[in-house]
Amino acid sequence: MSVSLKRIYDRLFAAYGPQHWWPAHTPFEVMIGAVLVQNTSWQNVRKAIGNLRRLDLLEPHALYAVPPEELEELIRPAGYFRIKARRLRNLLVLLVEHYEGSLEATFRTPLAELREQLLAVNGIGPETADSILLYAAGMPTFVVDTYTLRVLARHGWIAFDADYYQLQDHFESRLPDDVQLWNEYHALLVRVGKEHCRKRPLCRGCPLEELLPPSGPMEPEE
């Protein structure tokens, strides 16, 4: 419990180095990817984004003009393709009808206000909104995901039933307000989560193994 977040970060960074997040060419691509990756592996999302890129659709007005069924087919490899087509559409309505398709204008909006607008879009929840704010807009907000909870809870650093905002505050209140640090920290947590902290913990060789409680990884309930 007394392990500092900075020490955890340093171990992860020493083990893995920079993660170069978000894996995308442009801020718009980050936004699209943030929706497509919901409960889905990035590998599948890449195929879908590849389809959009091939047709030069990675731009707000162009994607806005694509008919619903066509969009569904293009993003099919990302899974949940019908619902995600609608979610993308909802996001595009905000961008095109409120900001005239200008991300520059969109990102001039103050953080708290833009966050509200994103959360008001049906299909965008806290993680998707924060991913867009941090990785597309470069705004200081800490992104929380399932790996964040798993990694911290398994080590006994936070309760398994902590909600999104408790986790977010846990980081934001204990770390310097540094966009680059928060960018890298979240990416590193995903990395260590993928390699060692899936539904079944694989703690052997994990950079955080020495920080585990003596009894081993914690489990939910009890």
Using CB under 7 A, which of 13, 16, 42, 160 touches DNA? 42
CB of 65 to DNA, least distance (A): 21
Q: Does 33 bind DNA (CB under 7 A)?
A: yes
- Answer yes or no whether residue 124 interacts with DNA by CB under 7 A: yes
Q: Tell me the window of 8-16, 43-51, 92-100, 106-114 that interacts with DNA (CB under 7 A).
A: 43-51
28 forms part of the interface with DNA (CB under 7 A): no
Residues 6 or more apart whose CB falls under 8 angstroms from that of 222 comprise none
- Contact call for residue 128 and DNA (CB under 7 A): yes
Secondary structure (3-state) at 140: coil
Which of 15, 16, 96, 123 is in the footprint of DNA by CB under 7 A?
A: 123
Which CB atom, from 53 or from 61, has the smaller least distance to DNA?
A: 53
**In the range 158-197, which residues lie near DNA by CB under 7 A?**
190, 193-194
CA angle, residues 215, 216, 221, in degrees to nearest 5? 90
Least Cβ distance, residue 39 to DNA (angstroms)? 4
- Tell me 210's DSSP state: G
Nearer to DNA, 1 or 200 (CB): 200
SS (H, E, C) 18-87: CCCCCCCCCHHHHHHHHHHCCCCCHHHHHHHHHHHHHCCCCCHHHHHCCCHHHHHHHHHHHCCHHHHHHH
CB-side neighbour CA atoms (13 Å) of 79: 10
Q: Does residue number 81 form part of the binding site for DNA (CB under 7 A)?
A: yes
- The encoded tokens of residue 91 equal 């996001």
Sole binder of DNA in the list 8, 11, 12, 21 (CB under 7 A): 21
Nearest distance from C-beta of residue 80 to DNA, angstroms: 4
Residue type, 56: D
Burial annotation 77-101 (CB, 10 A radius, 16+ → b, else e): bbbbbeebbbbbbebbebbbeebeb
Residues that bind DNA (CB under 7 A): 21-23, 33-34, 37-44, 47, 76-84, 121-129, 131, 135, 145-147, 190, 193-194, 198-200
